[in-house]
Structure 1
Amino acid sequence: MKNILMILTSHSKLENTDTKTGVWLGEFTDPYYEFKDAGYSITLASPHGGQPPVDEMSKMTENITASNKRFQDDEELKTAFSSTKKLSEIDPKDYDAVFFAGGHGPMFDLAKDPECGKIIVSFFNDGKPISAVCHGSAAFLSTENIDKNFLNGRRISCFTNTEETLVLKRGKVPYLLEDALKEKGAEIKSALVPFTTHVEQDGTIITGQNPVSAGPTARKLIEVLDNM
Structure 2
Amino acid sequence: MSKKVLAILSEFGYWGIELVGPLEKLEEAGYTVEFMTPKGKKAEALPPSYDTTYVDPPLGMCVTTSEAAEKVKAFEATNRLEQRRNMSEEIPERPYFSTPDFLRKFEQYFSDVKVAQDKLTEEYAALLLVGGSGPIIDMVNNQRVHDIILAFYKKNMPIGAICYGVAPLIFARDFNERKSIIRGKHVTGHCIEYDYHDNTGFLHTDLNMGPPPYTLEYMLSDAVGPEGQYHGNFGKQTSVIVDYPFITARSLQCAFEFGEQFVNVLDNGLKRYGW
TM-score, with length taken from structure 2: 0.71
Name the CA shift for 1:201/1:65 in 2 (closer, same or farther; >3 Å). Answer: farther
Q: 2-side partners of 1:43 and 1:177: how far apart?
A: 27
Name the structure 2 match of 1:95.
124
Deviation at 1:158, TM superposition (A): 0.4
Q: Could you say what the CA RMSD is over the residues aligned between the two structures, in angstroms?
A: 2.4
Deviation at 1:177, TM superposition (A): 1.3
Within the alignment, does 1:23 sit opposite 2:14 as a pair? yes
Q: 2-side partners of 1:110 and 1:36: how far apart?
A: 24
Q: 2-side partners of 1:207 and 1:65: how far apart?
A: 25
Letter in 2 for 1:158: G
Q: Equivalent residues in 2 for 1:66-85 (5 A)? A: 66=67, 68-74=69-75, 78-85=78-85
Which secondary structure state, in structure 1, belongs to the residue aligned with residue 19 of structure 2?
A: helix
Letter in 1 for 2:120: P
Which secondary structure state, in structure 1, belongs to the residue aligned with residue 127 of structure 2?
A: strand
Q: Equivalent residues in 2 for 1:185-196 (5 A)? A: 185=224, 187-193=229-235, 196=237
Name the CA shift for 1:167/1:173 in 2 (closer, same or farther; >3 Å). Answer: closer
Q: 2-side partners of 1:58 and 1:85: how far apart?
A: 24
Does the 8 Å contact 2:50/2:70 carry over to 1? no
Name the structure 1 match of 2:178.
148
Structure 2: which 5+ residue stretches go unaligned?
A: 53-61, 91-115, 201-208, 270-275
Which secondary structure state, in structure 2, belongs to the residue aligned with residue 225 of structure 1?
A: helix
Letter in 2 for 1:25: G
**Number of matched pairs:** 216
Structure 1: which 5+ residue stretches go unaligned?
A: 12-21
C-alpha distance after superposition, 1:170-219 (max 9, x if no partner):
9332111112223333531122406x211111121110111011111111
TM-score, with length taken from structure 1: 0.84
When Rg is computed on C-alpha atoms for both structures, the one with the higher figure is: 2
Name the structure 1 match of 2:273.
none
Q: 2-side partners of 1:66 and 1:154: how far apart?
A: 33
Which secondary structure state, in structure 2, belongs to the residue aligned with residue 108 of structure 1?
A: helix
Which secondary structure state, in structure 1, belongs to the residue aligned with residue 161 of structure 2?
A: strand
Does the 8 Å contact 2:17/2:72 carry over to 1? no
Q: Equivalent residues in 2 for 1:167-206 (5 A)? A: 169=200, 171-185=210-224, 187-193=229-235, 196-206=237-247
Q: Equivalent residues in 2 for 1:45-60 (5 A)? A: 45-60=36-51
Runs of at least 4 residues off by over 4 Å:
165-170
Deviation at 1:3, TM superposition (A): 0.7
Does the 8 Å contact 2:50/2:68 carry over to 1? no
